[in-house]
Chains A and B, each alone.
Chain A
């Protein structure tokens, strides 16, 4: 058999994917995948693929959550790869099931025959039947998870209430590198709270290991008060480790780097006369999920059971085992949903915090929740980045291009650089330090250099990344990774070059694009946005395009931006080619959300700090886009038979660049450093006004 789906080869057991719950009329086929619902709707999309693969209606399918002991290991839920990786696997699983348990009607008998299949069956040894027709696929099926969420039913991790539940909190250090000097001798709780030295008995228990310190108790209110008393009394030795937040581009270019070469073609331009050059940047950003991270753990003689909203439960399992010197098979991690996840946030760290607290109270489940300030400042940040682009222009054509990008690393996921990489591990008495963040490998799209190669025909090219390896701040993957700044830079630069060449920005892009799918989305976005019509007064109109990871979705965006007192994004017209669409409304929703979130990054977001502490500790100090600031977003999906790609990371870079290009056209000033706040625009005007 050739062309077996890679995730079937690595997970060949039938029972890892499919089982049957119940019997007779009410029997449901349970499908367990290794991709997690992160708020992006993937469970519904994969249910549609599973239904067609198994030749069942959607209401016969129940999606069950990823589980290290029971389900397939599909690595991370990341990189817009879930459909690409899971679709072929489900097609194979379904084809085998139909081969062995068909015919598929009547449905009760078919399901009963599925129930009778041997879970240990090796899927690679049976020839699957060819796929049947698309019934569920291609339809805008409503999300399976939304009714619970909209009607306020228990659904999220923090809603779990198992028997004997204890609540936990961790006191994080006040700053990076701080070491716990003392919880004062004889420290005790006040105001009616008392400390238990062992056991719980309606008290609060202190758990300490080195600079890791937390509290566990029966009542959440007590635990919260205990945390505040502990915070007030704990003494730390702090260090001034942080750079000047107002001079990040220079800081990014200084110190130690690892070079990430991408392209080096003869004749690419260096600095010099006749070469156009510009530099762009973005600050550190927070994931800023609307729920703080949480974890639930029970420690027993047999091992530890963990519920987590991690993007990679298998990697988390291995990291927990490595940090605590456990046999990985005794660590079971299952996925439970939390609020929207946009990359490597604090989910894994919170899971490990829960394990450390649960270890102190064997047999009792501990629900650990982070605080809002910790969520914003102790979760991995999205890297600050800067890029310098150079090009030669010859009679309206680009004849050479270079792109240098500096960034801190885009991956510090569990297991990165050969380390477990869990935050609390670095605070233990016998610490597991957190080495500098790294980047995903080029085969996974890279990090610093993701989308650093222009999609355009630009003559000889030189593209180099410089990953800063001496940052005190932990950074990791957030939606689009380096593609956000690289596309912002390339697409801003394209407009600058078009202006130098005296050519319309849409025409200039089309002049340099050969891929018909690329040309189509650009031309279509321009047409739908009325590019050739005069925009409303005070409004600038800007365009941008990228193909995510050079092989994913094509996306072109036209932004209408009004600049009066503030920069207001009125409308985003998004045209995307995401290949064959499994769930059109789901794909549109992801693109709308991605473009809206990127509008927030572009206009408002920047993690502030002083020499010692991060300052973005609440929604006032780290503002995000509000309802009255949210643009109208219209999404048009191109009909396509190409393989399905994800939609959730396609819009970020183009959104930021289209907004900056629109600001330029409204005001005649180019803002090259994000965010495009009112102050940044005023500074840019002052700079050209002299």
Chain B
């Protein structure tokens, strides 16, 4: 059994401890918001936060989560209020197919936690590990900028 916290709730899962965290989230815990894009750690669609660090869950064996805390895209709006990055993406219709968006939201939310005043170049650079094939890049960057705390 591997025990860890997901979006604030303690969970225990069985099975092979080498199973990717992504598979456990989607199949055992029903958290399908974290998407499978490549399984190779190269697209960012499966990003989650593990104890404060953004990691590709497809490359994270579940044993690495033991005793730690995981936040998924579902956790960003757990209280029923979308995260500011999510609201800004919806306000600006900053997506096309939306498959890339879960991983982008997770990455961008973590960035704004650490660097609340990140500028466009910094946002784009932080998202370079996330691929978007539909070409929504600039809308997404603009949405992340709009989600920053209003500077007083």
The residue that B127 contacts in the complex, of A39, A594, A618, A627, with Cβ under 8 A, is A627
In residues 34-75 of chain B, which contact A (Cβ within 8 Å)? 34-40, 42-43, 45, 72-74
Q: Is B93's CB under 8 angstroms from A585's CB? A: yes
Q: Is A152's CB under 8 angstroms from B93's CB? A: no
Q: Name which residue of chain A comes closest to B106, CB basis.
A: A152
Q: Is B86's CB under 8 angstroms from A592's CB? A: no
CA distance A290 to B16 in the complex (A): 28
* A188 interface contact, C-beta 8 A: no
Q: Is B35's CB under 8 angstroms from A589's CB? A: no
- Name the residue among B74, B76, B77, B137 with the largest chain A CB count within 10 angstroms: B137
Q: Name which residue of chain A comes closest to B45, CB basis.
A: A290
Partner-binding segment picked from A153-161, A274-282, A425-433: A153-161
Q: Is B135's CB under 8 angstroms from A593's CB? A: yes
CA distance A599 to B133 in the complex (A): 11
CA distance A242 to B125 in the complex (A): 37
* A150 interface contact, C-beta 8 A: yes
Q: Name which residue of chain B comes closest to A141, CB basis.
A: B93
CA distance A633 to B138 in the complex (A): 8
| Chain B residues whose C-beta falls within 8 Å of the C-beta of A262 in the assembled complex | none
| Chain A residues whose C-beta falls within 8 Å of the C-beta of B39 in the assembled complex | 371-372
In residues 75-112 of chain B, which contact A (Cβ within 8 Å)? 76-77, 82, 86, 89-90, 93, 95-102, 105
The residue that B128 contacts in the complex, of A289, A589, A626, with Cβ under 8 A, is A626
Q: Is A592's CB under 8 angstroms from B42's CB? A: no
| Chain A residues whose C-beta falls within 8 Å of the C-beta of B90 in the assembled complex | 142, 146-147, 150
User: Contacts A340-B96, A596-B135 given: A156-B35 contact, CB under 8 Å?
Assistant: yes
Q: Is B37's CB under 8 angstroms from A291's CB? A: yes
* A620 interface contact, C-beta 8 A: yes
CA distance A625 to B42 in the complex (A): 13
The residue that A221 contacts in the complex, of B20, B30, B73, B97, with Cβ under 8 A, is B20
CA distance A628 to B128 in the complex (A): 7
| Chain A residues whose C-beta falls within 8 Å of the C-beta of B36 in the assembled complex | 158, 291-292, 369
* B118 interface contact, C-beta 8 A: no
CA distance A594 to B93 in the complex (A): 16
Q: Is B33's CB under 8 angstroms from A220's CB? A: no
| Chain B residues whose C-beta falls within 8 Å of the C-beta of A288 in the assembled complex | 133
CA distance A337 to B98 in the complex (A): 11
Q: Is A632's CB under 8 angstroms from B138's CB? A: yes
Q: Is A152's CB under 8 angstroms from B33's CB? A: yes
The residue that B99 contacts in the complex, of A156, A224, A627, with Cβ under 8 A, is A156
| Chain B residues whose C-beta falls within 8 Å of the C-beta of A599 in the assembled complex | 135
Q: How far is the CB of A26 from chain B (nearest CB, A)?
A: 21
Q: How far is the CB of B152 from chain A (nearest CB, A)?
A: 28
Query: B-contacting residues of A (Cβ < 8 Å)?
Result: 38-41, 140, 142-143, 145-156, 158-159, 161, 192, 219-221, 224, 288-292, 337-342, 369, 371-372, 585-586, 589-590, 592-597, 599-600, 618-620, 624-628, 630-633
9 residue pairs, one from A and one from B, having the closest CB atoms: A152-B33, A39-B97, A149-B98, A596-B135, A152-B73, A339-B99, A340-B97, A630-B137, A593-B135
- If A140-B93, A150-B95, A632-B138 are given as contacts, then 12 extra A-B residue pairs at C-beta distance below 8 Å, sorted by A number, are A146-B98, A192-B16, A220-B26, A288-B133, A290-B134, A339-B100, A340-B96, A592-B135, A592-B139, A619-B42, A619-B43, A627-B127
